[in-house]
């Protein structure tokens, strides 16, 4: 019927000529079969197959793994971004994010630096790998990056412990590419032999005009000539000079944020000149503000999944870990509450999410949670 | 034995309304979405203390409770209206041609005509004539198609017969003449992606009629709230949804569609499939080549992939009013010749001669971001080709370079913008392609030339049991894609001989 209408419209014949020409000279998509997404896959591959090419001892508790592509090329990344490695450890499929410590200009390999965690299922597995071992990662992700459009070119980087890794990438990039930036690194560690990349950082500070290095050791040997104690406001002021032409980057364990962020706030550093890296789910979640006092942190609850299957889940363990431990594979990247990949729907029951977890407002309304930072406070029923 | 009666691939606007409609009519329905959130374009993402709206700028077709528009009725039928907070906009839009004009129009035909006549007194009669033409023409389209008149004759529908196959420019030039006036009165062309010299006059009429008669709306919580509500409707009606579940193959046998194979390799049988995947990927990637009918390849050959966008999402640590964001929708137009602006859509560069749109919902929804802040999306249309061959290692630098140029252009209207940015995310055509799966990141589907209208390219099943929903099978934009899903579902229901009555 519609084409009958069309035939009577003014300009019909001319338009039919236009259609005939378009069909004759138009685009043929069929040769693109299987290649429609190539341009995206070069930038953001879903998975990257990697091979360990070198293992470098850094400190008594840390090692750097150099990772080369098992096939093809590595996708690009921005200094400060992370990759997530995927593991299948005895039937437990899990994942962990690691900041890339090599520079983006180094396209032949990525390096990640891993600290051994007592009873750390993944860190112990990873640190025992040797050259030749195969790994699978996500593409690079994360927003802990310098943005030249809005950030002043003077960076103050405040690192604690293994939080140094994204800064290594930023510093190496700035020096290697001779970028018009200036970086001051304040790097706090408990003991002197915890300091990762200490020799390289000293050497870079000596040779590169863009970079200043201020290590701060809480409990150094008696004869240590450098800074002692914690990174605090007087030290930051001394290191920075003026504050309002600097952008601050902070990466480290929870204790570093608890200690440094209030001081930066007291110095009136606006949020637009402050970026904090995510750093995993909180340790000791029951100490977070808002944890309900009536829920015993040793309590164990039952999670009911689609199909009526059950999983046991302790209150103080992120839900995603309890699910993984029972053999369920949950998509995840950041494992810190922000990437939303592990979003799932809570059909019934109560969970605790630490304050400030960025969950979409309508997701909250419709009962979606980020499983990597959700802790059961009762029996739960969920939809994957 | 089929696992499901119907499978919907993709939980974009069209997929969600298709799945909700099917499930509510008792069809055993499975909705598959390769991402972890429903919505496609209709999503949001969090950065710092901000939640950014990805795609919605002005929702059309809602109307008021007293005078409901077609989309309000559709959402009510799907049971999601009560779950949404609809915020009407008090402005149609603001247009700024830097150093030339800064004018804000109201979503009311008479007020718009009066405001334009006050600004352009020399063209008083032409302005009235132009709006008479748009309303007259679209009134005929409504009579002929929305009310399905069985006798669409030239006598009853003279404007339609005369103009249905015409583009907008000739009549606009005749009525409006002044290039500044034309720029102000036709700023909405960017919502369809083609300048007046290429945009069907009926499409131009539809834009101005729909937004003026039924008001532009914002959704509290963003378009993600709508997507989540629709997903909830699917579940409430007994439908199944699987997130993180892409489809690798649509199975076709001699009887038609037979089911799908997921990325994970699971085969799920069904005789009815609604594809909310781009028409290109559906027929080029998802179906075995020897099962693709030549007729559909002809249709693809006739079409041209439409524009994508370059978008900068801004979380700002200042109130909207302090930044001069007085209207929720501001078109910044750097050239009064829309054909030159269109030509620039093929280039990667962004400069002061481009056209761009800044949407700031805080102007009408103060709670849209935390107190003392506001957020804005700054967007310009760009065809995807110019980004396709950027070397991967230069990609991030190139994003920042172009975003800086775009902010500079916007700062002519919103001075000081750059100094208040707390969070920024940049989306190139490749970003849109990444999240939508659309070739070249096209956001409206194919270019919607007159020759590509449903009069000539009907959305019909080329393979028995396979239906299309979304912008690639009709018009782009929220209202059309939401409607297209319902239309696809109705076609399935007819095929299954299910009553359409609930």
Sequential DSSP letters for B262-319? ETTS-EEE-SEEEE-S-HHHIIIIIS-GGGS-HHHHHHHHH--B--EEEEEEEEESS-
Both A213 and A300 in one domain: the answer is: no
Model confidence band, residue A251 (pLDDT cutoffs 50, 70, 90): very high
- At B421, list the tokens: 């940015």
What is the pLDDT at residue B499? 62
Of A8, A30, A40, the CB nearest to B284: A30
B326 and B434 belong to one structural domain:
yes
A226 and A294 part of one domain:
no
| Dihedral of alpha carbons B236, B239, B240, B241, sign | negative
Tokens at residue A297, please? 């942190």
CATH of the domain at A94: 2.40.30.10
Contacts of A375 (CB under 8 A, 6+ apart): A285, A315, A316, A317, A318, A319, A351, A352, A353
Question: What CATH code is carried by the domain that includes residue A188?
Answer: 3.40.50.80
* pLDDT tens, residue by residue, A73-82: 999 999 999 9
Residue B79 sits in the same domain as residue B227:
yes
Probe site for chain A from B456, B472, B474, B487 (most A CB atoms < 10 A): B456
Do B424 and A149 count as a contact with CB atoms less than 8 A apart?
Answer: yes
Pick from B30, B51, B154, B293 the residue to mutate for testing the A interface (most A CBs within 10 Å): B51
CA distance A347 to chain B (A): 11
Integer CA distances (angstroms), A53 to A132, A169, B230, B480, B493, in order: 6, 19, 49, 53, 58
Does residue A302 share a domain with residue A210? no
Do B207 and B329 belong together in one domain? Answer: no
Q: What residues of chain B lie within 8 A of the CB of A151, using their CB?
A: none
* pLDDT at residue A118, rounded to an integer: 82
Distance between CA atoms of residues A221 and A101, nearest Å: 28
Domain boundary among A137, A167, A185: A137
Report phi then psi at B14, rounded to 5. -65, -40
Each residue's pLDDT tens digit in chain B (502 positions)? 579 999 999 999 999 999 999 999 999 999 999 999 999 999 999 999 999 999 999 999 999 999 999 999 999 999 999 999 999 999 999 999 999 999 999 999 999 999 999 999 999 999 999 999 999 999 999 999 988 899 999 999 999 999 999 999 999 999 999 999 999 999 999 999 999 999 999 999 999 999 999 999 999 999 999 999 999 999 999 999 999 999 999 999 999 999 999 999 999 999 999 999 999 999 999 999 999 999 999 999 999 999 999 999 999 999 999 999 999 999 999 999 999 999 999 999 999 999 999 999 999 999 999 999 999 999 999 999 999 989 999 999 999 999 999 999 999 999 999 999 999 999 999 999 999 999 999 999 999 999 999 889 888 899 999 999 999 999 999 999 999 999 999 999 999 987 654 4
Q: Which two tokens stand for residue B220?
A: 């509290």
pLDDT at B500: 53
Residue B326 and residue B290 in contact, taking contact as beta carbons nearer than 8 Å: no
Q: Where does a domain end: A242, A276, A310? A: A276
Q: Which residues of A touch B458 (CB under 8 A)?
A: 2
The verdict on A192 and A116 lying in the same domain is no
pLDDT at B66: 96
| Cβ-contact A114, A63 below 8 angstroms | yes
Yes or no: say if A239 and A248 are a contact pair by the CB < 8 Å rule.
Answer: no
**Which structure tokens are listed for B222?**
């963003």
On whether residue A1 sits in a domain, the answer given is no
- Residue A225 counted as domain residue: yes
In this prediction, residue B1 carries a pLDDT of: 57
Runs of H (alpha helix) within chain A: 2-7, 12-25, 38-43, 121-127, 165-176, 198-207, 233-240, 254-266, 319-325, 361-365
Burial (CB count within 10 angstroms: exposed 0-12, middle 13-18, buried 19+), residue B444: buried
Q: Which residue, among A360, A363, A365, would best test binding to B if mutated, counting the most B CBs under 10 Å from its CB? A: A360
User: Is residue A86 within 8 Å of residue A136, measured between CB atoms?
Assistant: yes
Q: Which residues in chain B are closer than 8 Å to A11, comparing Cβ atoms?
A: 165-166
Mark whether B71 and B158 lie in a shared domain: no
**Stretch A322-339: mean pLDDT:** 94
Q: Give dist(CA B106, CA A197) in Å, integer.
A: 62
Question: Do A253 and A161 fall within a single domain?
Answer: yes
Which residue among A88, A105, A137 closes a domain?
A: A137
Q: Which residues of A touch B230 (CB under 8 A)?
A: none
Paired with B46 in beta bridges are: B51
CB contact under 8 A, B44 and A362: yes
Structural contact between residues B375 and B52, judged by C-beta atoms closer than 8 angstroms: yes
Count of Cβ atoms closer than 10 Å to residue B201 Cβ: 25
Instruction: Determine the distance in angstroms separating the CA of B440 from the nearest CA of chain A, rounded to an integer.
Output: 8
Q: Which of B154, B187, B214 is the last residue in one of the domains?
A: B214
- pLDDT given for residue B459 in this prediction: 85
Task: Decide if A363 and B422 are in contact by the 8 Å CB cutoff.
Answer: no
H, E, C per residue of B49-70: CEEEECCCCCECCCECCCCECH
* Contact status, residue B228 vs residue A366, Cβ threshold 8 Å: yes
Tally of CB atoms within 10 A around A212 = 15
Question: Is A342 inside a domain boundary?
Answer: yes
Asked whether residue A205 falls in the same domain as residue A247, the answer is yes
Select from B439, B462, B478 the last residue of a domain. Answer: B439
pTM > 0.90:
yes
Q: Of B415, B439, B463, which one is at a domain's C-terminal end?
A: B439
Query: Which residue from B minimizes the CA distance to A28?
Result: B301
pLDDT, tens digit, 9 for 90 and up, residues A186-197: 999 999 999 999
Helix residue ranges per DSSP H, A26-164:
38-43, 121-127
Q: How far is CA B456 from CA A19, A218, A222, in A?
A: 9, 75, 85
The full length of chain A comes to 384
Q: Which of B481, B379, B472, B360 is nearest to B429 (CA)?
A: B379
* Mean pLDDT score, A361-369: 96
Is the complex ipTM more than 0.90? yes
> How many domains does chain A divide into?
3
Q: Which of A11, A23, A43 has the CB atom closest to B395's CB atom? A: A43
- In a domain? residue A127: yes
B275 within some domain: yes
Main-chain phi, psi angles of B356, to 5 degrees: -150, 165
Range of the domain at A344: 285-383
- In B, minimum Cα distance to A31 occurs at B284
- Does residue A169 share a domain with residue A259? yes
Domain CATH code at residue B60 = 3.50.50.60
Residue B179 structural domain:
109-214
Query: Which residue has tokens 């700002």?
Result: B316
A115: three-class secondary structure by DSSP: strand
pLDDT attached to residue A1: 42
Residue A37 lies in a domain: no
Domain total in chain B: 3
* Residues 6+ positions from B107 with CB-CB distance below 8 Å: B89, B90, B91, B92, B211, B212, B215, B216
- Cβ neighbours of residue A88 closer than 8 Å, sequence gap 6 or more: none
Residues of chain A with Cβ-Cβ distance to B285 below 8 Å are 33-34, 36
Strand A92-99 with A48-59, pairing:
unpaired
Exposed e or buried b per residue across A82-103, where buried means at least 16 C-beta atoms within 10 angstroms of its C-beta: bbbbbbeeeebebbbbbbbbbb
Asked, for residue B225, whether it belongs to a domain, the answer is: yes
Same domain, B187 and B299: no
| CA B10 – CA B23 distance, rounded (Å) | 15
Say if B486 falls within a structural domain: yes
Tokens of A111: 């390096």
**Which residues are CB-contacts of A125 (< 8 A; sequence separation ≥ 6)?**
A87, A89
pLDDT on residue A3: 61
Record: contact B421-A29, CB cut-off 8 A: no
pLDDT of residue B39: 97
Please say if the pLDDT value at position A15 is more than 70: yes
Domain-located, residue B93: no
Q: What CATH number is associated with residue A301?
A: 3.10.20.30
């Amino acid at each position: 019927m519609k084409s009958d209408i069309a035939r009577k419209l003014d300009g019909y014949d001319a338009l039919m000529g236009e259609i005939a020409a378009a069909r004759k000279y138009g685009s043929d998509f069929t040769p693109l079969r299987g290649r429609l997404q190539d341009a995206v896959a070069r930038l953001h591959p879903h998975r990257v197959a990697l091979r360990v090419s070198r293992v470098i001892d850094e400190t008594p508790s840390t090692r750097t793994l150099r990772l080369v592509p098992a096939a093809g090329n590595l996708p690009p990344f921005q200094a400060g971004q992370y990759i997530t490695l995927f593991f299948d450890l005895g039937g437990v499929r899990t994942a962990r994010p690691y900041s890339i410590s090599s520079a983006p200009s180094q396209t032949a390999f990525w390096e990640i630096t891993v600290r051994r965690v007592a009873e750390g299922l993944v860190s112990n597995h990873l640190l025992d790998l040797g050259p030749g071992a195969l790994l699978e990662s996500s593409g690079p992700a994360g927003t802990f990056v310098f943005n030249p459009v809005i950030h002043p070119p003077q960076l103050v980087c405040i690192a604690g412990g293994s939080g140094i890794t994204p800064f290594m990438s930023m510093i190496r990039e700035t020096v290697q590419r001779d970028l018009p930036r200036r970086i001051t690194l304040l790097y706090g560690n408990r003991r002197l032999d915890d300091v990762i990349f200490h020799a390289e950082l000293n050497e870079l500070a000596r040779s590169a005009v863009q970079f200043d290095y201020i290590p701060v050791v809480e409990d150094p040997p008696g004869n240590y000539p450098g800074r002692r104690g914690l990174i605090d406001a007087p030290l930051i002021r001394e290191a920075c000079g003026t504050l309002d032409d600097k952008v601050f980057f902070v990466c480290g364990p929870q204790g570093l944020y608890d200690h440094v962020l209030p001081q930066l706030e007291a110095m009136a550093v606006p949020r637009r000149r402050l970026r904090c890296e995510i750093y995993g789910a909180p340790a000791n979640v029951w100490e977070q503000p808002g944890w309900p006092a009536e829920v015993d942190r040793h309590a164990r609850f039952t999670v009911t999944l689609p199909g009526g299957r059950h999983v046991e889940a302790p209150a103080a363990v992120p839900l995603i870990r309890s699910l993984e431990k029972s053999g369920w594979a949950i998509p995840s990247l950041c494992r810190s509450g922000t990437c939303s990949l592990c979003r799932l729907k809570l059909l019934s029951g109560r969970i605790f999410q630490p304050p400030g977890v960025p969950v979409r407002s309508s997701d909250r309304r419709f009962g979606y949670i980020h499983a990597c930072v959700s802790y059961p406070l009762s029996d739960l029923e969920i939809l994957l | 034995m089929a696992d499901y009666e119907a499978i919907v691939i993709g939980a974009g606007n069209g997929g969600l309304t298709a799945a909700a409609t099917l499930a509510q009519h008792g069809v055993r329905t499975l909705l598959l979405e390769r991402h972890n959130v429903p919505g496609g374009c209709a999503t949001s993402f969090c950065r710092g203390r901000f939640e950014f709206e990805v795609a919605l700028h002005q929702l059309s077709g809602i109307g008021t409770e007293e005078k409901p528009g077609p989309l309000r009725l559709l959402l009510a039928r799907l049971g999601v209206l009560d779950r949404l907070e609809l915020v009407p906009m008090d402005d149609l839009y603001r247009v700024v041609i830097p150093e030339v004009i800064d004018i804000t129009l109201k979503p009311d035909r008479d007020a718009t005509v009066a405001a334009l006549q006050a600004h352009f007194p020399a063209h008083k009669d032409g302005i009235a004539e132009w709006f008479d033409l748009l309303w007259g023409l679209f009134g005929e389209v409504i009579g002929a198609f929305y009310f399905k008149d069985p006798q669409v004759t030239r006598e009853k529908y003279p404007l339609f017969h005369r103009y249905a196959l015409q583009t907008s420019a000739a009549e606009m030039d005749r009525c409006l003449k002044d290039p500044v006036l034309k720029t102000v009165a036709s700023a909405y062309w960017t919502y369809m992606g083609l300048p007046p010299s290429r945009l069907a006059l009926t499409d131009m009429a539809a834009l101005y009629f729909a937004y003026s008669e039924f008001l532009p709306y914002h959704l509290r919580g963003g378009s993600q709230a709508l997507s989540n509500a629709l997903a909830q409707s699917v579940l409430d009606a007994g439908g199944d949804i699987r997130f993180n579940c892409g489809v690798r193959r649509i199975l076709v046998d001699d009887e038609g569609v037979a089911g799908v194979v997921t990325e994970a390799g699971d085969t799920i049988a069904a005789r009815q499939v609604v594809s909310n995947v781009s028409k290109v990927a559906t027929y080029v990637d998802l179906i075995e080549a020897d099962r693709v009918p030549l007729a559909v390849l002809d249709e693809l050959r006739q079409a041209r992939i439409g524009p994508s966008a370059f978008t900068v999402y801004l979380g700002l640590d200042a109130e909207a009013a302090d930044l001069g964001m007085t209207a929720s929708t501001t078109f910044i137009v750097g050239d009064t010749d829309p054909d030159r602006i269109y030509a620039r859509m093929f280039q990667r560069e962004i400069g002061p001669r481009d056209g761009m749109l800044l949407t700031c919902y805080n102007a009408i929804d103060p709670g849209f971001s935390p107190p003392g802040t506001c957020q804005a999306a700054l967007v310009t249309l760009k065809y995807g080709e110019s980004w396709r061959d950027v070397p991967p290692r230069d990609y991030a630098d190139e994003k920042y370079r172009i975003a800086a140029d775009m902010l500079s252009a916007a700062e002519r209207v919103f001075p000081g913008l750059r100094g208040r940015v707390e969070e920024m995310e940049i989306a190139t055509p490749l970003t849109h392609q990444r999240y939508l799966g659309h070739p070249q990141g096209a956001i409206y589907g194919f270019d919607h030339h007159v020759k590509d209208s449903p009069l000539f390219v009907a959305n019909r099943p080329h393979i028995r049991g396979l239906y299309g929903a979304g912008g690639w099978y009709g018009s782009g934009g929220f209202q059309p894609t939401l409607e297209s899903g319902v239309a696809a579902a109705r076609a399935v229901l007819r095929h299954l001989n299910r009553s359409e009555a609930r």
